Structure 1
Amino acid sequence: MAAPLGYFTFVLHSHLPYVIGHGRWPHGMDWLNEAAAESYIPLLRAFHHLAREGRTSGVTLGITPILAEMLASEVFRREFRDYLNNKIEAAREDFATFQRLGEDHFASLARMWEEHYTGLKRTFIEDFNENILGEAKDLMDRGMLEVITSAATHGYLPLLGRDTAVQAQVKQGVAAYRRHFGRDPKGFWLPECAYRPRYRWAPPLADVNVEPTLRKGVEEFLSENGLDFFIVDSHLLKGGRAIGVYKDRFHALERLWERFAAQYQERPEDREKSPYELYLVSSSPEPMRPVGILTRDPRTGLQVWSGEWGYPGDGNYLDFHKKRFPGGLRYWQVTSAKADLADKGPYHPEHVGARCREQARHFVSLVKEILGDFQAAHGRPGVVVAPYDTELFGHWWFEGPTWLAEVLAEFHNTPEVRLVTGSEAFELLAPTQVISLPEGSWGEGGYHFIWLNDMNDWTWRHIYPAEAEMEALAQACSHDPDPVLQDLLKQCGRTLFLLESSDWQFLISTFSARDYAELRLVAHHDDFKRLARITREYAQSRTLSEKDRHFLTACRERDDIFPDVDPRWWARVEFPAQGQR
């Protein structure tokens, strides 16, 4: 086989915060039901069709550990069946209403929705055996895609206050992956693509006067746990100066940035880096196995991310915002990016297939152009990495799974570009250059602004003391074999994981579900404080009151996650940096 022009991979990041037992609508369980119905099942079904045709997808599919816990839950399976039945019934009711009003076109759309959700129900029950994770595992076992892991509950690793907290998030992510997929993970999605190198760090809060201490680089925890690569945004590769005005909006960010910048030293070879090359990353002066990075390509990213002039903004596609209640089904098209809801025209599904194929051809031609330019300049094949939130395809952009399937089909007719997973890219290109990366994320401004600002800095005042308390409890009690004490410690760990979810800061900053996020964070904080108190008292007395026993049981049943959590992860840093010992 002739050497290809280059390589391409989609990286799809699948994540939702833990919602089972924490509300239904508008915030809660229906987030999970919608994502499963609109994104996860349609995409896996598309990959399954490719497999039947003897093709591969080259997709790198990230599934966060907390999402995996939810998808594996019997509660989800039961609730999801009810959700699909409700959607089918809503479509039938809409059909009857539209027929009575003489709205023939809308009646046909209602019939489309009935068939759509009936098909999803059949796929979920009959084809997937109600096991979405099992379908992903089967596709991976057949070489169709690669599943990668992430931090336990999508904790924002650069801002977590202790290395034991980062260690626990990573180790739980690896343990959960092994349990669900029966193998060791190779890739890791850093939550929010947020990275911090090794340096002397202090909590970025004005009223927390703590002497800076040496913190390990995020990549060190990945290396220690056998992980081979992670994904970064392109601005980090170019030096990370995209923070712009955002640090000036909030002094805590400025202090954190200045502390990092004063200690950050680029390696001399850190010049003229390209997002189409693979690199290895290390911020440690100590001997360690570097970890590879896949870098997001900004050109292909904008083609899909931008709702204004990217593919999803096409006027023919189904509009996300306008819905018919009470069923919540959608009957209108985008029409134009600036059209008010009242001006949205009726959806015409017969118009979208040609648009998906046309846009797929454009996307593939863009990838060929990028790889051709890179090879012409460097004399070797490059790799284009296209990371997206999985929920963009199907949930936010209804036609997204169809478009993605068309792109993969077009690539199969384009021998110059080879589809690869993340691990395959590293096996084929075998990078040797070790570089350093600055601190940052793929969030607005390229730094931590979304997760640390004057709207949500109070959340870290809840998180940091809880992390310190968990470390102290683990150091004192994690080696005690008492089964009740171990149950208490494990539930403390699970609750701390939920408290650390980066979703809460994101939802507060974006106002998308601010009240819900604030209530969730405060509730997990209160639960942790009470569990920690009970644990301390039990360690002294070896007795548990009936009230405290009921509380432990209630927490364990509601937040039924991570059976393999190990309190020893918080007791000490497994491989401390020199100066931490």
Structure 2
Amino acid sequence: MFTLVLHSHLPWLANHGRWPVGEEWLYQSWADCYLPIVETLERLADDGYTDVLSLGVTPVLAAQLDDPHCLSGMHHWLGNWQLRAHEATDRELSVREHRGSAAALQRFETRWRHGGSAALRPLLDAGTVELLGGPLAHPFAPLLDPRLREFSLREGLSDARARWGTAPSGIWAPECGFTPGMESEYAAAGVSHFMVDGPAMRGDTSLGRPVWDSDVVAFGRDLPVSYRVWSPKSGYPGHAAYRDFHTYDHATGLKPSRVTGRSVASNDKAPYDPERASATVDGHVADFVDVVRRRLTSESQRIGRDALVVAAFDTELFGHWWHEGPQWIDKLMRALPAAGITVGTLADAREQGYVGAPLELQDSSWGSGKDWRVWAGEDVADLVALNSEVTRTALDAVDAARHGQRSSGGPELRNRVNDQILRETLMAVASDWAFMVSKDSAAGYARERAHVHAHALREIAAASTGGSSARATALATQWNRADGLFPALDARRLRGAGTGSKREGTGGRP
């Protein structure tokens, strides 16, 4: 069996800047990736294809795709794209971009104006895709306080249930981060399977593996197959015929060129030719089908039974970074069954017995070195310290407020101040900020975002613990105007200090 897994994620960008980093990042990804990927899946569904792939959508991205501010901003951005197309002096570029923007506008206005949840729900109901969920706000879970880690996961699954009518049984843990003990938390939350990177399974990804003594199954990314598409040094998107992501027409922001060559200067790149690119897609589909077939054959022979191959990628690769990516997926998911290759989701693989012996899974991630250095290394020591401080501050404040309410003898009521404290805390500890700093990608923006959310929770918590309930309420309301995602988040569901968990440390085993 072959399984394609896509992980869709962006940090919360609404109301936190526009350009060069901020909402523009969301709207570009939405236009270039999410719209065409969903359209591709709808065509496959219309043609009778089911169990096409496992699609991870993080709660924080889902929140933005449903957010009224973001929906309005996206509509404005698509209109601006069409205006920019009309301003292009190259006629061929202008016509191509006008057609693209007009199609995107029409599609957004007819299929997306009620949000991403409404756009995706028919695909889930029809069994075209399996939905993978995850914890709220995308924290690097192994480094998170266990109480906040459990809360974030359960709230994330609840958020998915509210949006799509069902809670996912599978998840893509942020950054594929894992530490022993998390499998018990997964089982308690109703998670039956999750993704890790190939090296976490010592390179043997031919079957899913139950983790430690649980029934929760880990599936590993097959690196030789996945890297055929995308790797740090090679892969299909770098082909000379594909549209070049980094070369812009500076007057309009449009992308007029093809890659041409890796060492070719931007000014010397050849014009983009869609027909040439489409022919190249056909070649890369045929190549990938051959790669998958040979890998399945060799792995099945090695283990003496039918093997599983899981290729996994960030969804944003397809369309945003690699313009032709959605076209490649459309053709690939038709070509694989036509070539006699069984295609299914991770849930299919688990149900159909593509599961081997238990694995004592250790600390791991899919970051550099496959360890935790990206989120816990020297380059982000300040953020690690900040995360510890704000988590402690937040939990202490929420615990104190809840204790005071329980002491009054009445029922514990919804506390919007506590809700906002936890909301800002989860935003502050999002894995994106450390990743962006470690990779030197908009590091200043990342640090600013972490500190903005830290400041928010500090001043709300200080007012709350200082007895200024009116001020705490006012501050929580004000910060909620910018960070009002996850309205169903309820601090009453946070496990009380010292209760309900078998492990109170960082999750390790003896």
TM-score tier after normalising by the smaller chain length: over 0.9
2:122 to 113, 135, 138: 138
- Structure 2 unaligned runs (5+)? 506-510
Match of 2:373 in 1: 449
The runs of 5 or more residues in structure 1 that have no matched partner are: 1-6, 99-105, 198-216, 239-272
Displacement of 1:275 in angstroms is 0.7
Q: Distance in 2 between matches of 1:307 and 1:347?
A: 24
1:544 match:
470
Are 2:273 and 1:348 aligned?
Answer: yes
Residues 394-433 of structure 1: pairs in structure 2 closer than 5 A: 394-415=319-340, 417-429=341-353, 431=355, 433=357
What SS class does the counterpart of residue 162 from structure 2 fall into?
helix
Q: Which residue of 1 aligns with 2:508?
A: none
For the aligned residues, what is the CA RMSD? 1.9
C-alpha distance in structure 2 between counterparts of 1:326 and 1:165, whole Å: 47
Instruction: Check conservation: 1:475, 1:570, Cα contact below 8 A.
Output: no
- CA-to-aligned-CA distance 1:271-324 (integer Å, 9 cap, x gap): xx7211111002x6xxxx431011100111111113643111110000000111
2:452 paired with 1:523 = yes
Change (3 A) 1:573 1:31: farther
- What's 1:121 paired with? 105
| Residue aligning to 2:254 | 329
Q: CA deviation at 1:466?
A: 1.7
CA distance in 1, matches of 2:305, 2:317: 33
What displacement does 1:532 show? Answer: 0.5
**Contact residue 60 and residue 422 of structure 1 kept, 8 A:** yes
Amino acid of the residue matched to residue 157 of structure 1?
A
1:3 aligned residue:
none
How many positions carry a matched residue from both structures? 499
1:304 counterpart letter in structure 2: V
Tell me the residue number matched to 1:63. Answer: 57
Q: Which moved more, 1:371-380 or 1:176-185?
A: 371-380
1:174 aligns with 2:157: yes
3-state SS in 2 of match to 1:419:
coil
Q: Which amino acid aligns with 1:165?
A: L
Contact 1:470 1:570 in 2 (8 A): no
Q: Distance in 1 between matches of 2:197 and 2:83?
A: 43
Q: What per-residue deviation string (whole Å, max 9, x for no partner) do you get for residues 304-358 of structure 1?
A: 1136431111100000001112431100010112222222111111101111011
What is residue 85 of structure 1 aligned with on the other side? Answer: 79
What's the TM-score once normalised by structure 1's chain length?
0.83
Within the candidate set 189, 209, 223, 1:279 is matched to: 209
- Give 1:426 deviation, angstroms: 0.3
Say whether the 8 Å CA contact 1:474–1:571 is kept in structure 2: no
Alignment of 1:140-539 (within 5 A): 140-160=124-144, 162-197=145-180, 217-238=181-202, 274-282=204-212, 289-306=214-231, 308-415=233-340, 417-429=341-353, 431=355, 433-478=357-402, 480=405, 486-538=415-467
CA contact (8 A) 1:222 1:228 kept: yes
TM superposition shift of 1:430: 5.6
Contact 1:124 1:130 in 2 (8 A): no
Distance 1:403 1:355 in 2: 10
Offset of 1:378 from its aligned partner? 3.1
Which TM-score applies when normalising by structure 2? 0.94
Q: How far 1:156 sits from its partner (Å)?
A: 0.5
Please state if 1:553 is matched with 2:477: yes
Distance in structure 1 (CA, Å) of the matches to 2:100 and 2:450: 36
Change (3 A) 1:579 1:230: closer
Query: Which is further off, 528-537 or 41-50?
Result: 528-537
Q: Pick closer, same or farther for the CA change 1:328–1:419 going to 2, 3 Å.
A: same
Structure 2 vs 1, CA of residues 531 and 233 (structure 1 numbering), >3 Å: closer, same or farther? same
Q: Secondary structure at the match of 1:139?
A: helix
Displacement of 1:471:
2.2
Of the structure 1 ranges 12-21 and 434-443, higher mean CA displacement relative to structure 2 is found in: 434-443
Aligned-partner Cα distance in 2 for 1:573–1:220: 17
Are 2:207 and 2:356, in contact at CA under 8 Å, matched by a contact in 1? no
Are the structure 2 counterparts of residues 336 and 124 from structure 1 closer, same or farther at C-alpha, using a change threshold of 3 Å? same
Q: Determine if contact 1:41/1:132 at 8 Å carries over to the other structure.
A: no
Q: Secondary structure at the match of 1:455?
A: helix
The answer as to whether partners of 1:490 and 1:566 remain within 8 angstroms in 2 is yes
* Contact 2:416–2:473 (CA under 8 A) maintained in structure 1: no
